[in-house]
Structure 1
C-alpha cells in the first residue's frame, strides 16, 4: 500500500462532458507515470438511493458518513440509505476497480484518484524523478473541484504534483497534448 500522507497540489488539464474522454486522458497520463505500484481511491457525495445502491454493491465495506445534518456513519453501524445524502469513501483498491466505479457513479459528484510510484524525470524543466508524494491523477465526475462541492454536468481531470514542483503540472499536460486549464490548488487527501 502506498503511504503518501502529505498534501499534494493539483491542476486541471481537461474538462469534458464525455466521461470516456476523461478516462482516456487519465490512462494516457498513467502511461507517463511510474505505475509499478498503483492503487485507486474513491470519494463521492451521494444524494439518492438510485446512485447509492450500485456503489454500495461494489464497495460494501466503504466508509461513509452523513453529508448533512445527523450523525449517521459506517463507524456507527448505521444504514447509509437512512442517512442520505452521504459522503462515501474507499482507499487503496486495485486499479481494476476504477472502470466499474466510473460506470456506477450515476449523477453523483465523485472522484477517482490513481496513486502511483512517481512522475518521470523532466530534464527540460530541471526536475528529477518525482516520488510518491504528489504523484496522482484524479478524474472528478460530475464535479469541477476536488472537494466535490461544485456539481457539474461535465468531468475534470487533474494532475497532482508537489507544490515545489508546480512546473511539472504543465509539463505533464504537454506530454499528453494538453495544457493546464486552471489554477494549482491544494488537494484533499
Structure 2
C-alpha cells in the first residue's frame, strides 16, 4: 500500500455500532476492492469455534511463533470445528488473517469477535471532493475497524473499538472531518500511520 494516514473517527464499546458506522463509510468509497482483509486474535476455545463458523477453511495459527524440539516451526493443525476444548486450549492464543470477498463475511466476523484485538480493512478510493480540493488515492484510501484497539497499526489492547478513515500519505484532515460528520462524529485525534 502507500503508507496512508489513518484518522480515528469513532470510538465505541459496542462492536455492532463500530461495524454499522464503518459500513456506512465504506459505502461512500467511489471504488472498493473486491476483497476485504480480516484479522483476529483468538483467546478462547469459544473464539476459535465462532471464527471457524464465520470463516470456514481459513488457516488458524499460533499467535506467537512456536517451535518443536529440533527448532522446526509448529503449525496449528487441528480442525477447530471438531476438536474438544481440552485439545484446543494448549494451542491458545491463535490468530486468523484472511482476505475474503467484500460483503461476504464482515458483519458476521464483527459479531464473532471476542476479547482479542481484531480488524477489518476495506481498501478503495474516495471520490474527488471539489469543496475541499481532495482527490482519491487508490493506494491509501479506505476504512478500518480495530476491535479492542485504538491504533491503526494494532498497538496494544483497549476496551473500546475504533473506526479509522484512511487517506493520502500526506494526510487530508478536511476529508476526514467530512467523513466523520457523515456518521455523526468528528476526528478524534492526530493522524496515525496507516497501511
Calculate the TM-score normalised by the size of structure 2: 0.79
- How far has the Cα of 1:94 moved from its partner? 2.8
Query: Which residues in structure 2 correspond to 1:49-128 (within 5 Å)?
Result: 49-71=45-67, 76=75, 78-79=77-78, 81=88, 82-116=90-124, 118-128=125-135
1:137 aligned residue? 143
Query: Which residues in structure 2 correspond to 1:1-40 (within 5 Å)?
Result: 5-35=1-31, 37-40=33-36
Instruction: Give the paired residue count.
Output: 181
Larger radius of gyration: 2
Given that 1:45 and 1:87 are in contact with CA atoms closer than 8 Å, whether structure 2 keeps it comes out as yes
In structure 2, stretches of 5+ residues that fail to align are 81-87
Question: Which shows bigger deviation, 140-149 or 16-25?
Answer: 140-149
Q: Give secondary structure in 2 for the equivalent of 1:28.
A: helix
Given that 1:56 and 1:62 are in contact with CA atoms closer than 8 Å, whether structure 2 keeps it comes out as yes
Given that 1:11 and 1:180 are in contact with CA atoms closer than 8 Å, whether structure 2 keeps it comes out as yes
Q: Give secondary structure in 2 for the equivalent of 1:125.
A: coil
- How far has the Cα of 1:7 moved from its partner? 2.8
Q: Give secondary structure in 2 for the equivalent of 1:12.
A: strand
- Once residues 7 and 39 of structure 1 are traced to their aligned partners in structure 2, the CA distance between those partners, rounded to angstroms, is 19
Q: Give secondary structure in 2 for the equivalent of 1:20.
A: helix
Tell me: CA distance 1:21–1:57, structure 2 relative to 1, closer, same or farther (3 Å): closer
Tell me: CA distance 1:31–1:77, structure 2 relative to 1, closer, same or farther (3 Å): closer
In structure 1, stretches of 5+ residues that fail to align are none
